[in-house]
Amino acid sequence: MAGRQLWTLRRVAARGVEIAFRDTGAAAPGELLGWDDPGALPPEISSKADEWHGVPVVLLHGLSGDGRGWTDFARRLAVAGRRAIVPDLRGHGHSGRADDYTFAAFRDDILDLLDELGVEHADLVGHSLGGHVASMVAQERPKLVRRLVIEESPPPPRNEDEAMPFADRARRPRVRMSAWAVLRSVPTLLRFDQRALGHVAPAYRTPTPDWWAALPDITAETLILYGGPTGPVPADRLAAQAEAIPDCRVVTFDDAGHRIHSTRPDDFAAAVLGFLTA
């Protein structure tokens, strides 16, 4: 008996932009199957959303990526009985392009998507840009987010003294190699709206005191994953972020780089699944 497909690809309108998302918990007739079939699951894995246990897990990718980067972890979640909702951020993957690529716009898209799906509580897992967006969702709507996982997400500076250009770290050879790993898929690169880079990169260099001031508003249990000094995340700023979130701990994966879920998938899954199910 053949296993079912891991997820279906669906679309919703959010603030005038079409947001595409993959959903392991939706298999209703008429929904579009993913164009990038990641392979089948064993037939004993449920295909009905109401048979998953626990709240849905929302997986948010980083800049220039798309939801396919979460294929391995989404499969592990399904085997563990957890539904995964995996959006393509605006300007990425199958989602629509836009003129507004501010952090707030990304955040509001995710809030609108979850409202459209009727999700009242969720666990959020975000990588890089997705991690920052996830933190903003948790700040804006604390009761929505049960647990929060932030993987290798560079916190913006608190003030002008900390405003070291993000690009300075990104130019380091090992960081650059890690960043290009995101772009190995030609379809992913072609679907990425390069204008987003022109908005997001300067935002990472801009002091954001309001975001820092709202970190204590996060009520979700939080896990921050750090890939070591080869990535773009300043260790001192990450430590300050963790200190500001009331219930937060940091796990370091030495020399894992910027994409822990890709370079150390087993270790990543063990840490995150353990945190989400504890």
Q: β-pairing, 221-226 with 145-151?
A: parallel
Per-residue model confidence as pLDDT tens for the chain (278 residues): 344 567 778 888 888 899 999 998 764 433 433 434 444 554 444 444 456 778 999 999 999 999 999 999 998 998 888 999 999 999 999 999 999 999 999 999 999 999 999 999 999 999 999 999 999 999 999 999 999 999 999 999 998 888 754 445 544 544 444 444 444 565 676 788 889 988 998 999 999 999 999 999 999 999 999 999 988 899 999 999 999 999 999 999 999 999 999 999 999 999 999 999 98
Q: What CATH number does residue 131 fall under?
A: 3.40.50.1820
Q: What is the pTM of this model?
A: 0.87
**CA distance to 21, 198, 226, 257, 269, per residue, from 128 (Å):** 18, 16, 11, 12, 17
User: Tokens standing for 92?
Assistant: 């990425």
Q: Which residue type, as a one-letter code, is found at position 82? A: R
Q: Is residue 33 part of a domain?
A: no
Residue 104 lies in a domain: yes
Q: Is residue 227 part of a domain?
A: yes
Residue 84 lies in a domain: yes
Number of domains making up the chain:
1
Residue 238 near residue 269 (C-beta atoms within 8 A): no
Residue range(s) defining the domain that contains residue 183? 49-277
**19 domain-assigned:** no
In a domain, 155, yes or no: yes
Q: Is residue 22 part of a domain?
A: no
The answer to whether position 7 is within a domain reads no
